[in-house]
Every structure is written in structure tokens, then in C-alpha cells.
Chains A and B, each alone.
Chain A
Amino acid sequence: MFPSNGKPPPLSPVLLAGIAARPVSPRLLQPVLDHVMKLLGKQHPDLFERLSCLSDPTFLIDPIDLPVVFHLDANPERTYLEVSRSIERPAAAVIRGPLMTLLDLLEGRMDGDALFFSRALAIEGDTEAVVALRNAVDDSGIDLRGDVLASFGPFAKPAHRVLGMGGRIYTRMSRDLDMLKAALQQPQPKGPQA
């Protein structure tokens, strides 16, 4: 889907996604992520149970078209998802790919194997952890817009100002993503075949 040098083609929708996301500072996004993880723990307890087979369930999720990375620790005692501008600590596994692809994977709209076969995703480190995460996430039926954004929506009470602000940013991202998704669903040239 994308050249494998990790750089999106110029003026692609993915680049626009990067631009759209740029103003989101990690400091503002973090409360949103904390909220997301709390929600996930409550709504999808199976998700973490499925990962209990791993001794080190730590992940670095790197959307190659965003200037940030996400650190995920799925250990039941210290579950967290943290956003930062740089890789701050080692993780058992790294999942790298365009944001849209990662979101599709997260919400179970696309098959992890199929994505990897097309090399839209790159995996480093503990492949078992990645496979477990993918299987767990695929089952959980996470719906970012339905579950997470609804909790930020007009009828949800923002916990405090920063969270509200993060929520607005998220809503804007969501709108942008919808637009980008429409653009992405246009026919695209395929990568070279084996």
C-alpha cells in the first residue's frame, strides 16, 4: 500500500492526517488516553485476559505518519497507554504503520495477517506479543467512535477542562479521519507482488 521506506508519498491523504494531528500535543492527549484505557478496562475486560499469556505485554505503537508514538503496557497491574514525541523506553514489540491502518486494525475492520502480508504494517521484536495483541483487540470489538468518542460527546460530562479540550481535539481528529478514510477508499495502485 505504501513504499516501505516508511515515508508516505507526497500530498497523500496520510500526509494530511499527519498535518491534522500535528497540533495535538502529547500533553493534551495524555488525559484522553488515560480515559480510553480506563474505559477499555471496564468495557473489554476480556482484552486484558487474552493478553495474560504474555510475560512482557509492552508495545510501542508507531504511526509512521504522525510525529508521536504510543507506549502501551497491557500488564493488568499497571495498564497504561502513553503518548510521546520520542521512543522513551524499550518495549517487547514494535508495531509500525500508517495511522489509518493501525486504526482499522484496532477496530477489527481489517485483518492483521492480510495487512502484514501487504507489508502495510511492520513488526519488530516479540512477534508472539503482537499476535496476542492483535487477537485480543480483534475480539474486543473496540469502537473508537462508538465507545470512546461517545464518552467525550456533548452528552458526556467532561471530567475537567483538559479532558474536554482533549475531547474536542479528538472529535476534530475523528471528523478529519472520516474525510481521509473516504479519500483512502478510492482505488489505489497496489504495491509490487512477490
Chain B
Amino acid sequence: MKKLELVCPAGTPAALRAAVDSGADTVYLGFRDATNARNFPGLNFSRPELEQGIEYARSKGAHIYLAINTFPTAGDPEPWHKAVDDGAALGVDAVILADIGMLDYAAQNHPDLRRHLSVQASASNPEAINFYQDAFDVKRVVLPRVLTVPEIKALHKEISVETEVFVFGGLCVMAEGRCSLSSYVTGQSPNTNGVCSPACDVRYEDEDDGSMVSRLGDFTINAFAPGEAAGYPTLCKGRFVANGETSYLFEDPVSLNAASMLSELQEAGVTALKIEGRQRGKAYIAEVVSSFRKSVDGMESGAEVENDLTQVAEGQRKTAGAYQKTWR
């Protein structure tokens, strides 16, 4: 079986170098604007930074994928088209796209530029995946984080493109690219602005009793007792009240960690493993990438290497997420 490809995030040139130096086969990144789904303040790459990043990655035998995975604004597709054009001109190894209009544009204008389907396209079944392959010659699909391992295995019997799956990091609990919760609360959405629960709408408020409240826009997302580990108020990760009961209704403050399932994923037919976290620091990148490098290398010798990445995990707890059916 072919060795699994390790696809790692970078939000800055420093993070890119950290990822490559820690053993990433591929680094994925985006331009510093709304064309990518991690459009966070102070993050992402200018054109010259991408050029240098490609050079650095090449010198160490690593690849660069450019994420252009938001949905272009009606009446203003230019920034998105230019992102594809520039990525092609600079020589990225693939573009990661979500929008059908963009796939069409890239296939027409840059037929030789390798196209991957972003998780934001939420292609969760064979008919959808085969459509993207037939219509736009997509070479790889990043699977949405809604499928169990047996479902991934069954899916592979009906498709012939490569798949890439998330193995670590923040976990969208909704089908990706099909969630408007953020814009309902803040006006800004992952699909159009490339942000979820944007920092400009986040407030942390200390209460008199030492507890802390996190708010997003006009809504309280969570409250933490003194000393309790606190999360960023991503709105699906908050504590809410339904039927008179308070709970983490959508998802507990946990990170995905599928390190113990790498062999299963490989047997299911997966080609590449993806680490989430372009918005995280280079220390996180280095730690997580090294850990997964060891795990993937360990698979060669038949030794499954468990990692302990609890400290960098959100809420400092981990989950196998949707890969296990009980998550549903």
C-alpha cells in the first residue's frame, strides 16, 4: 500500500517552514483575502510570500496546495479568478476549490493545474464525487467530516479519485460549506467571507465571581467557571439551553484526533491525511506535524504510534468525531 501523504496547514511563512521542517509531505495555505476559508486577521500569504514558500518547500521535497475554497461573490468574481491565475503562475502543485463556477473556470483556463475538491464542497457520496471528477477532472476530494470509516470504505468502492481526510484539529460539526450559523449571528460566513465566528465579534467578559463569559455578536456562547479550560466562542461549540437543560448541544469543546485510526483509514482507501489549523501558531504546527510524521512512518514498520497532543487540543480533549458512528 502506498504511504499516506501528510497534508499540513500553514497560516504564515514561519508556519510553512515549521511544517516542512517537521516532515510535512505537503503544505496547504491561502492568500490573504476572502478567497480562502481561513480569512483571519494577520494570517495567510501575500504573492511574494507564496513564491518564497514554494521555493522553500521544493528545496525540501515538499508540495504546496493553494486553498481557494470560498464561494465567489456574485458580481465580483475577479479576486477568486486572480487567485487561481496567480497560483497557476507561481507553480502551486494543486488548487483546492469548493465552488462549481470556480472549478469550471479553473478547468477551462488552467486545464493542467491539478484540482482538488475542498471539504467546503461537502461531497459526501459517490454521485457527487463522480460528478466533480467527470465534470471538472478533479483528482482528489477532501471528504467532509460527516462520514464513518465503514462509510468511507464503502464510498471507495464506487469512486476512483483520491480522497483526503482530516485526522487532527478543530472539528466542524455541521456539514462543511453548508452552514450559515456564523452569518446568522455576525453577518460573516465561511462560504462568503472565509470566516466562522469572526474574532471582531468575539468578547470575553470577566464576571465578579471569577468566571468568564464568551460572547459572539449579541449572543452568549459560553461561560466558564474559575480555572475551567476555555474555548474560542465558535458558535457550534457553545453551551446552550434546550428543553430546560444546559449542555454542549452541538459539540463538546474537543479536537479531532484520529491518530489511532490511520491504518483503518488507509485500508478504507484514503490517500492523504489532513491536519486542520491554518489559524494556529507554528509551535502547534511543529508539534502536531512531527507527531503525525512519526505515526505515518511507524505504520511502515507495522507499529501504530499513538500520539499525545492533548495540550494543543481545543478544550484539551480529543474525539474520533464522525469516524465513529456513536458520534451521531
Contact = CB atoms under 8 A, between A and B. Distances in A.
Answer yes or no: are A and B bound together in one complex.
yes
Contacts of B205: 124
- The CB with the most chain A CB atoms within 10 A, among B199, B203, B313, is that of B199
Contacts of B302: none
A118 interface: yes
A73 interface: no
B41 A138 contact: no
- The CB with the most chain A CB atoms within 10 A, among B15, B206, B227, B279, is that of B227
B198 A117 contact: no
A132 B229 CA distance: 22
Interface string B11-48: 11111000000000000000000000000111100000
Contacts of A168: none
Contacts of B13: 46, 139
Interface residues of B, number: 43
A113 B314 contact: yes
A124 B14 contact: no
B51 to A, nearest CB: 14
B293 interface: no
A3 B42 contact: no
B281 interface: yes
Interface residues of A, number: 42
Contacts of A194: 224, 228-229, 252-253, 315-317
A113 B14 contact: no
Interface of A: 3-5, 46, 50-51, 53-54, 108-114, 116-119, 122-136, 138-141, 191-194
Interface of B: 11-15, 40-43, 198-200, 202-206, 210, 212, 224, 226-232, 252-253, 279-284, 287, 311-317
Given A131-B40, A135-B11, 16 more contacts: A4-B226, A50-B12, A50-B43, A51-B42, A53-B41, A109-B283, A117-B231, A117-B316, A119-B227, A124-B206, A127-B200, A132-B42, A133-B42, A135-B279, A139-B11, A141-B14
7 contacts: A113-B232, A113-B280, A119-B228, A131-B199, A135-B43, A138-B282, A194-B316
